[in-house]
C-alpha cells in the first residue's frame, strides 16, 4: 500500500554535539552542503556541530542555523538514497524554515542567512537573564492560560509552545515565569521544568525581534510551495510564498500551535511521519497524541537505513 507521508522538522533544543558527523564522513552531498554553509555563515558550523563546544552550539544564533543545516542535509540524503517524498510538512518553530526549504519556497542560502539573523534578533530582544521558559506537563491549555493570567501582575508570561494537550511551554519575564511555576505545582501539574534557554521565545517580549526580522524577510524571495506546509502561527495549510513569509514574521512572538498542527496531519489521512534532523522529540509528541501513525526519523546512517527499509518493504525493526 502506498504510504501517505508527512515530513516533520525539529526546532531549537534538538541540537547535540556530534550531529551530522556520520553523514559528513559518508555522503559527498553532506560535505558539500556543510562547506557551503560555512561560507555563508563565516564560521565553521560543521566543526561546531561535530565537536562543539556545547556551550557555543547552544547560543541561539549558532543553534538555529546548525539545526537547519543538519535537517536539510538529512533531507537531501533521504531523497537521493530513498526517493522519499511527502504530501505535507511542518516544522516546530525554527523547523518551519526547514519545511519551506524542503517545499522549494526558500533557498538554503536565504534560509541560513535568515535564521542566523532571527537567532540574533531573538537573543537581543531581551537582556540575558531577564526572561526564561518553562515546560508544564499535566495541565491543559485553559488551566495554563489561567495561571498566566494570574501572574500578569508580576510581569509578562504567556503560553509559547502548545506541544500537546498536556504539555505546554510558557515564556516571559523570569519573575512571572517563576511565579507561574509555583502556581502550576500547587494546581497539580505532574511536572514543571525550567528550560535551559537563552531567551523567552514566542511571547510578546519578542516583538522587537519580529519587527527586525520582518525587515529582512521583505528582502527575500519566497516561491510558491511544491507541497503544503502547516504553519505554527495558525495551524493551517499554506502553499503560497507570500503566506509563508507573513507567517514567519508573526511566528516570532506568537505561540507554536503544534498540537493543532499534528491533529491536522492526522485529519489529512497521513499514516507515516518522518522527523528529519537531529533528535526525535516531535515523534514523541506524535506518539502521545496518536499511536497509530508510523513514526520514523532520519538523523544518522542507522536511522536513515531503517526508514528507507520500512518505506520500501513495510518492515520495521
DSSP string, 190-241: SEEEE---SS--SSGGGHHHHHHHHHHHTTS--PPPSS-EE-TTT--EE--H
254: annotated active-site residue: no
Q: In sequence order, which residues have a C-beta less than 8 Å from that of residue 110 and are 6 or more positions away?
A: 220, 221
The whole-model pTM stands at 0.96
Catalytic residue, chosen from 105, 202, 247, 253, is 202
Domain residue spans of the chain: 5-125+205-313, 131-197
Architecture in CATH for domain 131-197: 2-Layer Sandwich (3.30)
Q: Do the first three CATH levels of 5-125+205-313 and 131-197 match, i.e. the same topology? A: no
202: annotated active-site residue: yes
Residues 223, 251 contacting (CB under 8 angstroms): no
Q: List strands edge to edge, sheet with 131-137.
A: 157-164, 167-173, 131-137, 191-194
Catalytic residue, chosen from 14, 71, 93, 198, is 93
Per-residue pLDDT of the chain (317 residues; tens, 9 = 90+): 678 999 999 999 899 999 999 999 999 999 999 999 999 999 999 999 999 999 999 888 899 999 999 999 999 999 999 999 999 999 999 999 999 999 999 999 999 999 999 999 999 999 888 999 999 999 999 999 999 999 999 999 999 999 999 999 999 999 999 999 999 999 999 999 998 787 899 999 999 999 999 999 999 999 999 999 999 999 999 999 999 999 999 999 999 999 999 999 999 999 999 999 999 999 999 998 877 899 999 999 999 999 999 998 865 44
Residue 220 has a CB neighbour count (10 Å cut-off) of 16
Four-way CATH pick for 5-125+205-313: 3.40.50.300, 3.40.366.10, 3.40.50.1820, 2.30.110.10:
3.40.366.10
Amino acid at each position: 500500500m502506498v504510504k501517505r507521508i508527512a515530513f516533520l522538522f525539529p526546532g531549537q533544543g534538538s541540537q547535540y554535539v556530534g550531529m551530522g558527523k556520520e553523514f559528513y564522513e559518508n555522503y559527498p552531498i553532506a560535505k558539500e552542503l556543510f562547506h557551503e554553509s560555512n561560507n555563508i555563515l563565516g564560521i565553521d558550523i560543521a566543526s561546531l556541530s561535530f565537536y562543539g563546544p556545547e556551550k557555543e552550539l547552544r547560543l541561539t544564533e549558532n543553534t538555529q542555523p546548525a539545526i537547519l543545516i543538519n535537517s536539510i542535509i538529512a533531507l537531501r540524503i533521504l531523497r537521493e538514497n530513498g526517493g522519499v517524498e511527502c504530501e505535507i510538512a511542518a516544522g516546530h518553530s525554527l523547523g518551519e524554515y526547514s519545511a519551506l526549504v524542503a517545499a522549494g519556497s526558500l533557498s538554503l542560502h536565504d534560509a541560513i542567512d535568515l535564521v542566523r539573523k532571527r537567532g540574533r534578533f531573538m537573543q537581543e530582544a531581551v537582556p540575558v537573564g531577564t526572561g526564561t521558559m518553562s515546560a508544564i506537563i499535566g495541565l491543559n491549555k485553559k488551566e495554563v492560560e489561567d495561571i498566566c493570567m494570574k501572574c500578569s501582575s508580576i510581569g509578562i508570561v504567556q503560553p509559547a509552545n502548545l506541544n500537546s494537550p498536556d504539555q505546554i511551554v510558557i515564556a516571559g519575564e523570569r519573575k512571572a515565569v517563576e511565579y507561574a511555576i509555583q502556581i502550576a505545582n500547587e494546581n497539580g501539574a505532574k511536572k514543571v521544568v525550567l528550560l535551559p534557554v537563552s531567551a523567552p521565545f514566542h511571547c510578546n517580549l519578542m516583538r522587537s525581534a519580529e519587527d527586525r526580522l520582518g525587515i529582512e524577510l521583505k528582502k527575500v524571495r519566497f516561491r510558491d510551495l511544491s507541497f503544503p506546509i502547516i504553519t505554527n502561527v495558525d495551524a493551517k495549510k499554506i502553499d503560497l510564498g507570500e503566506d509563508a513569509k507573513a507567517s514567519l514574521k508573526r511566528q516570532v512572538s506568537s505561540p507554536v500551535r503544534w498540537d493543532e498542527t499534528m491533529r491536522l496531519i492526522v485529519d489529512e489521512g497521513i499514516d507515516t511521519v518522518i522527523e528529519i534532523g537531529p533528535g526525535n522529540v516531535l515523534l514523541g509528541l506524535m506518539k502521545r497524541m496518536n499511536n497509530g501513525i508510523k513514526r520514523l526519523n532520519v538523523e544518522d546512517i542507522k536511522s536513515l537505513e531503517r526508514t528507507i527499509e520500512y518505506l520500501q518493504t513495510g518492515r520495521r525493526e
